[in-house]
Amino acid sequence: MRRKIIAGNWKMHKTIVEATALASAVKKEVGTLEHPSVVVCPPYTALTEVSMALKDSEIQVGAQNMHQEDSGAFTGEVSAEMVLTSGCSYVILGHSERRTLFSETDQLVNVKTRKALAVGLTPIVCVGETLAQRQAGRMEQVIEEQFNGSLEGLSADEIRRVVIAYEPVWAIGTGQVATPEQAEEVHRYIRGLLTRRYDQATAEEIAILYGGSVKGSNAAGLFAKENIDGALVGGASLKADEFVAIVRAMI
């Protein structure tokens, strides 16, 4: 059976004290759950404290980004090893905000993905089209380009350790969630790309998360779809009860 994952992307929110309190509140409700896997992704500054707060639970910690080099004169950046040794087992890569606001390309996401895998982190690699691209009928082309570029050259063993997140840019932070049918269509398309590149058995193993305005009230409809294996949650992951409701919708 495929892994099911609910990951919370806290973006640039929460001080260390606030982050620890949120993590502890989530732990209290779903800390012993093994299925689905629950992941929280605080800002870098809170990774260690949140990891410590979640130490005796099943909840995993992820970073929201990392640099691709091991070390060096890269002021303001954080390496994969630093992320790993802060207690993380996951890292979000290629989020649309990184692509748009920080000019990250598929090629850079690919280098980061390889580095994350090399140190033993599970990358959550994001892809997704803009509204203009969707309206121009270019959705599949955009997804395929991002898939090919961001995941280029990964072996079957490597791709099995990757989580893919489909996050339509028009749904992120807008309150305009994709319908379960819209999301399923793209998830099925991505699984088809995996089958074509690898084989069906490999494609079936890979978790494909949906992200974009997921809430407690719309999660169950999305999770009922065959190819939707969980969610990458932004805004709704900042409130423990709302995030927990999304986790419970997957049980």
The residue whose Cβ lies closest to ligand PEP is: 234
Phi, psi of 214 (to 5 degrees): -75, 135
The distance of closest approach from Cβ of residue 177 to ligand PEP in the complex, given in angstroms and rounded to an integer, is 8
- Residue closer to ligand PEP by CB (options 120, 173) is 173
Stretch that binds ligand PEP, among 51-59, 101-109, 130-138, 205-213 (CB under 6 A): 205-213
User: What are phi and psi for residue 111, nearest 5 degrees?
Assistant: -65, -40
CB within 8 A of 153, min separation 6: which ones?
110, 114
The only residue of 106, 129, 167, 242 in contact with ligand PEP, by rule CB under 6 A = 167
Count residues contacting ligand PEP (CB under 6 A)? 13
Using the minimum distance from each CB to ligand PEP, give the nearer residue, 87 or 128.
Answer: 128
Answer yes or no: 95 catalytic: yes
Phi, psi of 122 (to 5 degrees): -95, 110
249: CB partners within 8 A, 6+ apart: 216, 219, 220, 223
Nearest of 213, 203, 151 to residue 182 by alpha carbon: 213
Stretch binding ligand PEP (CB under 6 A), from 31-39, 181-189, 232-240, 242-250: 232-240
Of residues 234, 242, 243, 247, which one binds ligand PEP by CB under 6 A? 234
Separation of alpha carbons 50 and 91, rounded Å:
15
Indicate whether 104 belongs to the interface with ligand PEP (CB under 6 A).
no
Q: For 52-205, list the strands marked E by DSSP.
A: 60-63, 90-93, 122-127, 163-166
> Residue 186's closest CA among 126, 140, 135?
140
Quick check: 214 binds ligand PEP (CB under 6 A)? yes
Q: How far is the CB of 156 from ligand PEP (least distance, A)?
A: 27
Confirm if 98 and 104 have CB atoms less than 8 A apart. yes
C-beta of 172 vs 203, nearer to ligand PEP:
172
Catalytic-residue membership of 167:
yes
Does residue number 5 form part of the binding site for ligand PEP (CB under 6 A)?
A: no
* 233 belongs to the binding site for ligand PEP (CB under 6 A): yes
Q: Check residue 62 for interaction with ligand PEP (CB under 6 A).
A: no
**Residue tagged active-site, from 167, 184, 187, 242:** 167
Q: Does 129 bind ligand PEP (CB under 6 A)?
A: no
Q: How far apart are CA 53 and CA 49, in angstroms?
A: 6
Q: Which residues sit at the interface with ligand PEP, rule CB under 6 A?
A: 9, 167, 172-173, 211-214, 232-236
